[in-house]
Amino acid sequence: MRLDKLISQMQIGTRSQVKEYIRNGSVTVNGQVVKKPECKVNALEDKICYMGRELCFQKFAYYMLNKPSGVVTATKDSHDQTVMDLMHDAAGKDLFPVGRLDKDTEGLLLVTNDGTLSHKLLSPKMHVVKTYYVECEGALTSEGIFMLEQGVDIGDEKITLPASVSNVKQLDGTYSMLLSITEGRFHQVKRMIHAVGGNVTYLKRISFGGLFLDKTLANGAWRPLRQEEIMQLANQNQNKNQNKNKED
> What digits encode the pLDDT tens for the residues 43-54?
778 999 999 988
Single out the catalytic residue among 46, 102, 104, 214.
102
208 φ, ψ (degrees, to nearest 5): -155, 115
* Residues 178 and 149 sit within 8 Å (Cβ to Cβ): no
Q: What share of the chain is helix, strand, coil (3-state, %, to 5)?
A: 30, 25, 45
Using DSSP, state whether 246 is helix, strand or coil.
Answer: helix
46 belongs to the catalytic site = no
* Closest to 209 in 3D by CA, of 112, 71, 109: 109
- Say how far apart CA 134 and CA 46 lie, in whole Å: 51
Higher pLDDT, 166 or 226: 166
Q: How would residue 12 be classed by pLDDT, with cut points 50, 70 and 90?
A: confident
